Every structure is written in structure tokens, then in C-alpha cells.
């Protein structure tokens, strides 16, 4: 295996993806705006703050239970309250691309007083998860592999812009917001622990998980904590506002199953620790290797 070969693992969202970015891409651009490695850039345009983000979608199959590549890419812009303002299409010969890939870029104004970043988690923060985990990855996998179940798992694909508006309206001081997509909740929490230099403790019994997803994961040997989600978010909030923000999320149509799954500790910086259902302690590392390729 040559060192200069791109492997599927480089697309996992886990350790290899991070090495690709930090070792290969970042040194080339050497740009302080890139260094926070947040989901999007924050730009100052004549004193106004603008967020700018981009994402590419290569999911296979392009139609899956509960959604399609177009839903993931927010082509369902009407539902999200987002306007499509410009675009490009390219066509390549048969065989040069697997059906269709979609790339989206978005810009938005950042409200005054809002400062959300993966670097802003603080000891004591409560960690809120907006719903059940693993639905998307399991839906895509079972569809791709042609597995059929009595109660098929549907993807959780959903626009979260209105949920975030609700959250910010009750608490402008949300510390961290992340979508646990590639690499799942486990990888997202590790990134935040690393960037904020804090420790994270979560409770297995508090993490919402559908029985069907749990069952399929057990059957196939997957750990749901690393399975991709599409319509979920993780929020880190000062304990004084946690219940208020949780209530705001639960009011949203996509946040009914939201709950507090853990908190930030000042010890064990960079580590994510899970108290298991039987009371044990397990270290949740960043995803290593490719669990489920092409889920978004």
C-alpha cells in the first residue's frame, strides 16, 4: 500500500480523514481562517460576520429509505428555508462517475452575539443530542446491500436550520454545534474534545437509539456511536441554559427525541469517556478505519 494512495479510509470522517486534511491540505494553504477546522469559515465583510461552508455528496445508493442524495444536499431547499442562488452542472461519459455527485456551498449571516465553534466547549457544559443515532447509516447500508427487514430503518435526513433558529432565539450563547455525520457521534465528540482541550463524559443509557438500528448494528458488528447521522445535531450549552435549549429543540418537528447525553469535564482533556449501561467506563476514540463508506 503506497503512502501516496488515497484509500476509502481517507473518506471516513475519522482519523485518516483528519490526517489527509492536516498533513496534506492545510500546509499548502497555510491560512489562519482555515485553522479552526470548523464546519465552515467565518468571514468579516465590512464588519458583518458571514459563515461560508461547502459539502460534497456521493452517497450510494442515490435513493434510500427516507431520502435521496438530493435531500442530503439540501436540494430540498424549500423545506430548509434556504434559497438556491447559483449553480453549475458538468457531464462526464458513462463510467467516469457513479451516477451523480452533488456539491453544495452555502453562506449565511451570523447573528450578533453568536459565537459557535468546536473550540468553545467549557467544563460543566451540558451535551445535547437532538435525537436517535445511526438511522441514516443503517438505512443506506441495508438498502445498498439489499437487506430487507419487517420494519425498515429510514434515514433521518432533515433540514436543521429552523431548529437552530429556535435554539439561538432562547440562548444566543450556545458554545458548540456539530452535525455528527461521517464518523458519527463518537468522532464528532472526539473532534470537539480535541479542539476545546476538554474531556467529555457521556452516558450510554441516555443516547437515543432505535431498537431496529440497535438490532442491525449488533447483527452486523457495527458500533452505532460511529454510524453517520444526517438530521441530527450535538449542542454544548452552559448548564444554566441547557434545559431551555433542550425544550426549544423538542418543540421542533425533528427534535422530539432530543436529550442531554453527557457533560464536559475539566480532566481527561481530548478524551471522550462513556459510562456504559452496566456501569462500566469505556473510552470512545475517534473512528479508525472505514466503517460504512459513502453514506453522504
Distance of CA 70 to the CA centre of its chain: 18
Tell whether residue 219 is a contact of a second copy (CB under 8 A). no
Tell whether residue 93 is a contact of a second copy (CB under 8 A). yes
Q: How far is the CB of 262 from a second copy (least distance, A)?
A: 28
**Cα–Cα distance, 199 to 172 (Å, whole number):** 24
**Cα–Cα distance, 198 to 190 (Å, whole number):** 10
Cis amide prior to 61 (ω within 30 degrees)? yes
**Cα–Cα distance, 57 to 98 (Å, whole number):** 12
**Cα–Cα distance, 209 to 224 (Å, whole number):** 8
Please give the size of the binding site for a second copy, defined by CB under 8 A: 53
Q: How far is the CB of 204 from a second copy (least distance, A)?
A: 30
> Judged by CB under 8 A, which of 2, 27, 29, 211 binds a second copy?
29
**Cα–Cα distance, 105 to 43 (Å, whole number):** 14
> Judged by CB under 8 A, which of 19, 22, 56, 81 binds a second copy?
56
Applying CB under 8 A, which part among 77-85, 114-122, 152-160, 265-273 lies near a second copy?
77-85
In 188-290, beta strands by DSSP E: 199-203, 234-237, 259-265, 272-275, 281-283
Q: Which is nearer to a second copy, 85 or 278 (CB)?
A: 85
Helices 211-220 and 135-144, axial angle in degrees (round to 10): 60
Tell whether residue 266 is a contact of a second copy (CB under 8 A). no
For every residue of 23-41, DSSP letters joined together read IIIHHHH--TTTTT--SSE
Q: How far is the CB of 91 from a second copy (least distance, A)?
A: 3
Applying CB under 8 A, which part among 21-29, 146-154, 186-194, 230-238 lies near a second copy?
21-29
For the chain, give the longest Cα–Cα distance: 57
Tell whether residue 107 is a contact of a second copy (CB under 8 A). yes
Applying CB under 8 A, which part among 81-89, 145-153, 207-215, 269-277 lies near a second copy?
81-89
Tell whether residue 22 is a contact of a second copy (CB under 8 A). no
> Judged by CB under 8 A, which of 88, 145, 150, 211 binds a second copy?
88
Binding residues for a second copy, per CB under 8 A?
6-11, 17, 20-21, 25, 29, 31, 33-34, 40-41, 43, 45-46, 48, 50, 52-58, 60, 77, 83-93, 95-98, 101, 103, 105, 107, 109, 293-294, 296
Amino acid at each position: 500500500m503506497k503512502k501516496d494512495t488515497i484509500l476509502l479510509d481517507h473518506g471516513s470522517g475519522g482519523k485518516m480523514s483528519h490526517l489527509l486534511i492536516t498533513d496534506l491540505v492545510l500546509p499548502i494553504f497555510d491560512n489562519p481562517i482555515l485553522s479552526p477546522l470548523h464546519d465552515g469559515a467565518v468571514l468579516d465583510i465590512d464588519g458583518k460576520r458571514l459563515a461560508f461552508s461547502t459539502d460534497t455528496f456521493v452517497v450510494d445508493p442515490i435513493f434510500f429509505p427516507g431520502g435521496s442524495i438530493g435531500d442530503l444536499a439540501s436540494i430540498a431547499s424549500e423545506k430548509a428555508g434556504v434559497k438556491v442562488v447559483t449553480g453549475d452542472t458538468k457531464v462526464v461519459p458513462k463510467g467516469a462517475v457513479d451516477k451523480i455527485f452533488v456539491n453544495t456551498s452555502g453562506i449565511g449571516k451570523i447573528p450578533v452575539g453568536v459565537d459557535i465553534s468546536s473550540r468553545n466547549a467549557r467544563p460543566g457544559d451540558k451535551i445535547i443530542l437532538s435525537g436517535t443515532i445511526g438511522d441514516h447509516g443503517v438505512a443506506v447500508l441495508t438498502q445498498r446491500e439489499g437487506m430487507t427487514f419487517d420494519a425498515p430503518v429510514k434515514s433521518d435526513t432533515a433540514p436543521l436550520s429552523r431548529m437552530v433558529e429556535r435554539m439561538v432565539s432562547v440562548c444566543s450563547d450556545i458554545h458548540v454545534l456539530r452535525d455528527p455525520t461521517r464518523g458519527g457521534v463518537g468522532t464528532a465528540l472526539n473532534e470537539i474534545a480535541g479542539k476545546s482541550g476538554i474531556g467529555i463524559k457521556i452516558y450510554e443509557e441516555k443516547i437515543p437509539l432505535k431498537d431496529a438500528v440497535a438490532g442491525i448494528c449488533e447483527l452486523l458488528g457495527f458500533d452505532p456511536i460511529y454510524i453517520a447521522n444526517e438530521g441530527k445535531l450535538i449542542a454544548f450549552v452552559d448548564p444554566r441554559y441547557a434545559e431551555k435549549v433542550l425544550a426549544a429543540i423538542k418543540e421542533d418537528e425533528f427534535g422530539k427525541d432530543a436529550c442531554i447525553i453527557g457533560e464536559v469535564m475539566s480532566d481527561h482533556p481530548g478524551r471522550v469517556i462513556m459510562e456504559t449501561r452496566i456501569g462500566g467506563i469505556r473510552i470512545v476514540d475517534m473512528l479508525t478505519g472505514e466503517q460504512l463508506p459513502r453514506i453522504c
